[in-house]
Amino acid sequence: MSDDTALILVPGSVTLDDLRDIYLTDHSVILDRACQPQVEASAQRVAEVAAGDAAVYGINTGFGKLASVRIPPEDVATLQRNLILSHCCGVGDRLPNQVVRLIMAIKLISLGRGASGVRWSLVELLEGMLARGVYPVIPGQGSVGASGDLAPLAHMAAVMMGEGEAEYDGHILPGGEALRAAGLSPIALAAKEGLALINGTQVSTALALAGLFRAWWAGLNALVTGAMSTDAAMGSSAPFHEEIHLLRGQPGQIAAGQALRKLLEGSLIRDSHLDGDERVQDPYCLRCQPQVMGAALDVLRQAGETLQREANAATDNPLVLTDGSIISGGNFHAEPVAFAADMIAMAVSEIGAVTQRRIALLVDPALSFGLPAFLTPKPGLNSGFMIAEVTSAALMSENKQRSHPASVDSTPTSANQEDHVSMACHGARRLWDMTTNLERIVGIEALCAAQGVELRAPLRTSPRLQKAIDIIRQVSPTLQEDRYLAPDLEAAAQLVHTGALIIPVIDVLPSLAIHVNEHMADPLEKFDDGLG
């Protein structure tokens, strides 16, 4: 793709919208050329230090516990190559290409801040790899989220040197071969460049962003299926009254309550029991949806704010400051990302928990206000959604177990030089599986709620919710008699994953609105975690 259609990233001013587009699409990504002079100036300063007599960490010394070992000028390039190869110690399943794209793009943004001391040719190689679809094979395990995501980022850097492995055109190739097939050439790293590539929080941040995007999307789906369950159970819409939520003032709760009201607008099922309803109050999973979902949305917004800042940050070490000094600090410590990932995990767990309770309510004739047991027209002969509810409970419990904070689990590494670490990387990596579980829980609710609404015939649900039911019925027919149900569950989860259920009603759903970062040049607009 030509640069005319590339997404241009302004370091320090990249928005969540930009990052979401990188995650969801494969178009070209380039840095705003206005940052090139500062990048080149910092590279020149590093070159001067590398040729001089003064010892400066990361340029002409060893690393970590070996920082006191001085490296002569003629060995500086070898030092950088050895650094990358020795740090390629990642294990486990490879990260998805869309996450790898985010990693590479966020590294570009960081280098574009002009504090890393790398040559512009290194920036151009990363841009070329993104433009032509050369994706390094990066194992997901091996980072403790401090001193940078060293092992996974080393696998990215190795490909840039012509080592390691990369995917190109659907094939896994040796790194050098993948670059050549794409018309690119490997680079010989100069002073500090290896350290600049691996010393940063980009893997943790990319994984946390992927979790954020998927969690927000699933949360919007859960608002739709939650409204559908409310109608199926003939629940009251009174708890969604606007003034209730304005009196509390929590923005997520206000937005969730408004969405639920709009989704139920025009429902004949709801209208049929507005007067004379014998139930004074519904269970919390129906009545407290604005409070629970709203709190989750607020937490996700707060995490998004942190991750947006981190994606715009210079997080390697040492950094070349504007006065020409090269100072060793600790921006590589991913504690902010670790906390954000833990917040996302808690929100994912809670969205799944309240969703699962609605599923349990719908299949239980003691709670579902006249629906047949397990939502089957002939209970006993048929089990209906009995075990689909059990599956949702299993997924909910798995997510609860995984939601324990990773950030409190520090362990010393590197001969106690790195004696407190963030655990951000595996805290963020778990979000991939957790959001997959959540998509499946919400998908099961979609099936149960649609069945429940149809069992209320001839009464009809709202026009907006009927659109969602019509989409569900395209992949899963009404359950009249027991059938092999696993494909239906997977198809429903895919509807959640792709956003098919919410696209027709996106106009009434909340946006992930992030406040302007004081370090950013341009204000953020509202962000919808959509596909279009």
The CATH number for 377's domain is 1.20.200.10
Residue 349's domain spans which residues?
A: 207-314+330-408+421-508
Q: What is the pLDDT of residues 300-359, one digit of tens each?
A: 999 999 999 999 999 999 999 999 999 999 999 999 999 999 999 999 999 999 999 999
Q: Is residue 415 included in any domain, yes or no?
A: no
What is the Cβ-side half-sphere exposure of residue 159, based on CA atoms within 13 angstroms? 32
What does the pLDDT read at residue 519? 39
Listed residues 154, 178, 200: the one ending a domain:
200
Q: Is residue 523 included in any domain, yes or no?
A: no
- Residues written for the chain: 532
What does the pLDDT read at residue 277? 57
Q: Which carries the bigger pLDDT value, residue 530 or residue 502?
A: 502
Q: Among 70-74, 243-247, 501-505, whose mean pLDDT is lowest?
A: 70-74
pTM: 0.93
What does the pLDDT read at residue 159? 98
Residue 249 sits in the same domain as residue 342: yes
Residue 212 sits in the same domain as residue 194: no
Query: Residue 523 above 50 pLDDT?
Result: no
What does the pLDDT read at residue 332? 94
**Predicted confidence band at 55 (pLDDT cuts at 50, 70, 90)?**
confident
| 361, containing H or E segment | helix 335-363
Token readout for 95 is: 């990260």
Query: Residue 528 above 70 pLDDT?
Result: no
In the block, residue with structure tokens 């209730």: 244
3-state secondary structure of 354: helix
Q: Which of 29, 13, 5 is nearest to 98 (CA)?
A: 29
Query: Residue 527 above 60 pLDDT?
Result: no
Q: Is residue 531 included in any domain, yes or no?
A: no
The verdict on whether omega for the bond into residue 318 sits within 30 degrees of 0, i.e. cis, is yes
Calculate the CA 376 to chain-centre distance.
Answer: 37
Query: Residue 526 above 60 pLDDT?
Result: no
Listed residues 200, 232, 262: the one ending a domain:
200
Query: Residue 2 above 50 pLDDT?
Result: no
Residue 273 sits in the same domain as residue 127: no
Residue 261 sits in the same domain as residue 365: yes
Residue 192 sits in the same domain as residue 227: no
Residue 173 sits in the same domain as residue 226: no
Strands 319-320 and 326-327, bridge-based pairing: antiparallel
**Predicted confidence band at 279 (pLDDT cuts at 50, 70, 90)?**
low
What does the pLDDT read at residue 141? 95
What does the pLDDT read at residue 521? 37
**Predicted confidence band at 513 (pLDDT cuts at 50, 70, 90)?**
low
Residue 473 sits in the same domain as residue 387: yes
Q: Is residue 213 included in any domain, yes or no?
A: yes
Query: Residue 51 above 70 pLDDT?
Result: yes
Q: Is residue 54 included in any domain, yes or no?
A: yes
3-state secondary structure of 316: coil
3-state secondary structure of 412: coil
Q: Which of 310, 302, 299 is nearest to 334 (CA)?
A: 310
Q: Which carries the bigger pLDDT value, residue 513 or residue 94?
A: 94
What is the Cβ-side half-sphere exposure of residue 65, based on CA atoms within 13 angstroms? 8
End-to-end CA distance of the chain: 19
- Backbone φ, ψ for residue 197 (5° rounding): -75, -35
Q: What is the pLDDT of residues 93-114, one digit of tens each?
A: 999 999 999 999 999 999 999 9
Residue 143 sits in the same domain as residue 286: no
Q: Among 138-142, 429-433, 509-513, 524-528, whose mean pLDDT is lowest?
A: 524-528
What does the pLDDT read at residue 280? 65
Residue 186 sits in the same domain as residue 250: no
Q: What is the pLDDT of residues 348-385, one digit of tens each?
A: 999 999 999 999 999 999 999 899 999 999 999 999 99
What does the pLDDT read at residue 1? 40
Q: Is residue 524 included in any domain, yes or no?
A: no
Q: State the Cα–Cα distance between residues 438 and 141, nearest whole angstrom.
A: 23
Q: What is the pLDDT of residues 438-477, one digit of tens each?
A: 999 999 999 999 999 999 999 999 999 999 999 999 999 9
CATH code at 32?
1.10.275.10
Q: Dihedral of CA 227/230/232/237: which sign? A: negative
Residue 188 sits in the same domain as residue 336: no
Listed residues 200, 227, 252: the one ending a domain:
200
Contacts with 355 (C-beta within 8 Å, 6 or more apart), sequence order: 222, 225, 226, 392, 396, 438, 441, 442, 445
Q: Dihedral of CA 494/138/108/419: which sign? A: positive
From the number of C-beta atoms within 10 Å of its C-beta (0-12, 13-18, 19+), residue 251 rates as: middle
Q: Which carries the bigger pLDDT value, residue 57 or residue 207?
A: 207
Residues with catalytic roles: 57
Q: State the Cα–Cα distance between residues 186 and 152, nearest whole angstrom.
A: 19
From the number of C-beta atoms within 10 Å of its C-beta (0-12, 13-18, 19+), residue 54 rates as: exposed
Count structural domains, the chain: 2
Residue 194 sits in the same domain as residue 217: no
Mean pLDDT of 423-446: 97
**Predicted confidence band at 147 (pLDDT cuts at 50, 70, 90)?**
confident
Q: Is residue 517 included in any domain, yes or no?
A: no
Q: How far are the Cα atoms of 214, 307, 396, 398, 432 from residue 207, in angstroms, in the given order?
A: 11, 10, 21, 19, 8
Q: State the Cα–Cα distance between residues 461 and 482, nearest whole angstrom.
A: 25
What does the pLDDT read at residue 276? 56
Residue 185 sits in the same domain as residue 261: no
Return the percentage of the chain with pLDDT > 90, whole number. Answer: 83
Q: Is residue 528 included in any domain, yes or no?
A: no
Kindly give the interhelix angle for 424-454 and 335-363, rounded to the nearest 10 degrees: 20
Query: Residue 5 above 60 pLDDT?
Result: yes
Q: How far are the Cα atoms of 156, 232, 430 from residue 94, in angstroms, in the given order?
A: 12, 42, 14
Token readout for 420 is: 């407190």
What does the pLDDT read at residue 52? 84
Q: What is the largest CA-CA distance in the chain?
A: 88
Q: State the Cα–Cα distance between residues 13 and 10, nearest whole angstrom.
A: 5
What does the pLDDT read at residue 524? 29
